[in-house]
Every structure is written in structure tokens, then in C-alpha cells.
């Protein structure tokens, strides 16, 4: 009892006049960029602006696991997730506002594109999504059931095939052809790993596969760590948009709405986007000055009609790999 009182008193003192506290729950992909870049810079920014020390507590997990943790009451004030579908799940359980995507910049804080990572010199000459459907090309991407990243990857392959045929007029035949491309690529996936990071480890450390489909920023991060990996941007690919929102009951309870809002605005600002660019992300508006320019046609989930529509068109990502016989000689045109 006495100990509990002391503990509470301790917490009270830490949250007292001289120190602010903000807790962030984010999906794993932004870990390095946040921990090494955004967090210390925002602390400095907050100190300069208000003269107050800011303690930032960080928690990282896969996007789906973060949704479940916050649903179960993880005390995060700001939540950063892989995609809007996950954020909508938190909105349905009233952890974040239902109109979270109507805040500034649609609630998006980080951007990237889906690319194809290849071995140095691109020995298999993989240039576009269709090349990943060629026989005997070993592909890696994680299971879309357990990884938010894989959902982006599959949407990119599916969407580019669909847009090449014009979305407005996409009927069952166009959908079937786009689904067929995804199935063909999926048949070439060696192992449907649990997470993007595990796929990356298999590609780099175990020399598995010829190609890895992942976020551009994940490959830039690996290159910075000294790994021998290159990437190609397909002719048309998906723009990744990672959203953030306030966890309403937590900012109310902790009384730090102002700090949480300032944090999201900071990440979205030119300064915040510049920090993210150093870690391989693309600015959410405008073009990148630090990443190679691309002539690829970029499309967004909005162009495809939204997450729910694509998920339904792809049968909830439960696409069965094609039978081997069907795969032999099959080419995607």
C-alpha cells in the first residue's frame, strides 16, 4: 500500500511541472526512423518551443499486433500504423476518432513506394511485376494475413495490373487477369514469412530467392546497414501511406492532447519529412530530393477504390497458389 502510494507519487512528480510525457505506439517499419530521428528531434523542438523536457516512451510492434494491444488498453497517446484499414479497426472500437482521416493531410505521416529488391547487378533481369511471375524466379514477401507490409505488396501487384487495363471499366475479366498475376507471383513465393523483416532476413542472410517485394525505405535501410541489395521500381507501383492518429481516451486521461497533436504535425512538417527521407521514406507531398527520381506511374489505394474493395476483390488475401502444372509455361502478358 505504502509502496503503491510512493510509486504514484513518483509518477506524479515525473509528470509534474518540469516534465511532459508522450507515449507512442507504432508499427515496426518506422522504428529506426522514429527512434533515431523523429523522437530526439521532436524532443529538441519541444524544448525550444516550450522550454519543457519531454519524455517520449516508444512501443513498436507489427501493425496488427499494435491494433490489438491498443484495443486491449495499451496506454499509447499517438498510434502510427501500416495502413488505413488497421486504423479503421481502432476507429470502430472508438479508440481513435471515426473521422481520423479528415485531419490534416488525411492523417498520413509517412510515405514510401512498393519496389522489387534484387541481387547486385540484377542477374535475373527483373524489371516489372510480370517478371516475378516467370517460372523459377524465387520471390519473397510475407503472409498478408500476418503482415501489413505484404498487403501493400499484393495490392501493388494487383493494382498495377488492374490500372494497366483501366480501373473505370474493370469488369470480371480484368479482375480475373489481375488476380491471375497475383496468383502467379504468389506461386513463386518461396516462404510466406510472418513479417517483412523476416523476409528481408531470409533474402539477405540466407541468400534465399531472386527478388523481394517490399517498401523502398526497408531496402534503403538495408543498404545503409551495408547489405548488398539493389532495387528496381516497376513501371507502375503503389504509393504507401502510413497513417497516425490520437488515441482519444489516452490523451484525455494523460492530459497531453496538445503534445500529441504537435507530434503528428511535426512528423508531417517539412522538417519531419526531411528526417524520414534520411531513412528512405518519400515525402507525403512533393518529390524527394534524397532518393532517386522515378518515372514510374504511382497510384494510391484511393485510385483502386479503397482497402475494403481491394481486399474483397482479392478474396480476403486467401489466394491459393496455382497448381504447378498450371504454372509451367504460364506467362503473364
Determine, following the binding rule CB under 8 A, whether residue 204 of this chain makes contact with other proteins.
no
Residue selected from 186, 199, 214, 217 as contacting other proteins according to rule CB under 8 A: 186
Determine, following the binding rule CB under 8 A, whether residue 192 of this chain makes contact with other proteins.
yes
SS3 42: helix
Determine, following the binding rule CB under 8 A, whether residue 32 of this chain makes contact with other proteins.
no
Residue 110 CB, shortest distance to other proteins, in Å, is 22
Residue selected from 43, 59, 122, 146 as contacting other proteins according to rule CB under 8 A: 146
DSSP class per residue in 97-119: -TTGGGSGGGGEEEEEEEEEEE-
Select the span of 26-34, 36-44, 137-145, 161-169 touching other proteins (CB under 8 A): 137-145
CA 124 to chain centre: 27
Compare residues 17 and 72 and give the one whose CB is closer to other proteins.
72
Determine, following the binding rule CB under 8 A, whether residue 327 of this chain makes contact with other proteins.
no
Select the span of 59-67, 103-111, 166-174, 214-222 touching other proteins (CB under 8 A): 59-67
Helical (H) or strand (E) element with 306: none
For 310, residues 6+ apart whose C-beta sits below 8 A from its C-beta are: 155, 158, 159, 301, 304
In angstroms, the CA 66 to CA 60 distance is 8
Compare residues 102 and 318 and give the one whose CB is closer to other proteins.
318
For 62, residues 6+ apart whose C-beta sits below 8 A from its C-beta are: 27, 28, 146, 147, 148, 195
Determine, following the binding rule CB under 8 A, whether residue 119 of this chain makes contact with other proteins.
no
Four-point Cα dihedral 254, 258, 261, 262, nearest 10: -120
C-alpha cell of residue 146: 500476418
Compare residues 21 and 65 and give the one whose CB is closer to other proteins.
65
Select the span of 14-22, 50-58, 156-164, 201-209 touching other proteins (CB under 8 A): 201-209
Q: Are 213 and 276 in contact (CB under 8 A)?
A: no
Residue selected from 37, 107, 130, 144 as contacting other proteins according to rule CB under 8 A: 144
SS3 257: helix
Beta carbons within 10 angstroms of residue 280's beta carbon:
22
Residue 62 CB, shortest distance to other proteins, in Å, is 8
Determine, following the binding rule CB under 8 A, whether residue 208 of this chain makes contact with other proteins.
yes
Positions in the binding site for other proteins (CB under 8 A)? 62, 64-65, 89, 138, 143-147, 186, 189-194, 206-208, 316-321
Amino acid at each position: 500500500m505504502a509502496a503503491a502510494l510512493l510509486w504514484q507519487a513518483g509518477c506524479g512528480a515525473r509528470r509534474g511541472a518540469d516534465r511532459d510525457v508522450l507515449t507512442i505506439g507504432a508499427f515496426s517499419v518506422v522504428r529506426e526512423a522514429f527512434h533515431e530521428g523523429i523522437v530526439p528531434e521532436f524532443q529538441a523542438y519541444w524544448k525550444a518551443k516550450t522550454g519543457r523536457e519531454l519524455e517520449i516512451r516508444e512501443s513498436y510492434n507489427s501493425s496488427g499486433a499494435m491494433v490489438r494491444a491498443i484495443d486491449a488498453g495499451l496506454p499509447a497517446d499517438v498510434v502510427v500504423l501500416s495502413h488505413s484499414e488497421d486504423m479503421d479497426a481502432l476507429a470502430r472500437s472508438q479508440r481513435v476518432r471515426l473521422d481520423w482521416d479528415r485531419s490534416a493531410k488525411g492523417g498520413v505521416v509517412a510515405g514510401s513506394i512498393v519496389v522489387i529488391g534484387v541481387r547486385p547487378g540484377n542477374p535475373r533481369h527483373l524489371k516489372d511485376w510480370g517478371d516475378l511471375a516467370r517460372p523459377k524466379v524465387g520471390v519473397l514477401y510475407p503472409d498478408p494475413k500476418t503482415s501489413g507490409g505484404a498487403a501493400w505488396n499484393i495490392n501493388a501487384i494487383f493494382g498495377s495490373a488492374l490500372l494497366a487495363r483501366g480501373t473505370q471499366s474493370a469488369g470480371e475479366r480484368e479482375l480475373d487477369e489481375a488476380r491471375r498475376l497475383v496468383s502467379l507471383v504468389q506461386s513463386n513465393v518461396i516462404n510466406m514469412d510472418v513479417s517483412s523483416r523476416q523476409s528481408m532476413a531470409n533474402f539477405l542472410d540466407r541468400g534465399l530467392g531472386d527478388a523481394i517485394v517490399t517498401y523502398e525505405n526497408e531496402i534503403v535501410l538495408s543498404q545503409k546497414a551495408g547489405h548488398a541489395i539493389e532495387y528496381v521500381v516497376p513501371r507502375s507501383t503503389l504509393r504507401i501511406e502510413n497513417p497516425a492518429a490520437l488515441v482519444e481516451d489516452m490523451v484525455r486521461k494523460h492530459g497531453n492532447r496538445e503534445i500529441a497533436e504537435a507530434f503528428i504535425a511535426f512528423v508531417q512538417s517539412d522538417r519531419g519529412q526531411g528526417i524520414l527521407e534520411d531513412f528512405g521514406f518519400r515525402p507525403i507531398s512533393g518529390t524527394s530530393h534524397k532518393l532517386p527520381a522515378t518515372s514510374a506511374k504511382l497510384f494510391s489505394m484511393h485510385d483502386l477504390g479503397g482497402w475494403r474493395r481491394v481486399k474483397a476483390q482479392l478474396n480476403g488475401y486467401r489466394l491459393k497458389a496455382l497448381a504447378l502444372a498450371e504454372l509451367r509455361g504460364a506467362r503473364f502478358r
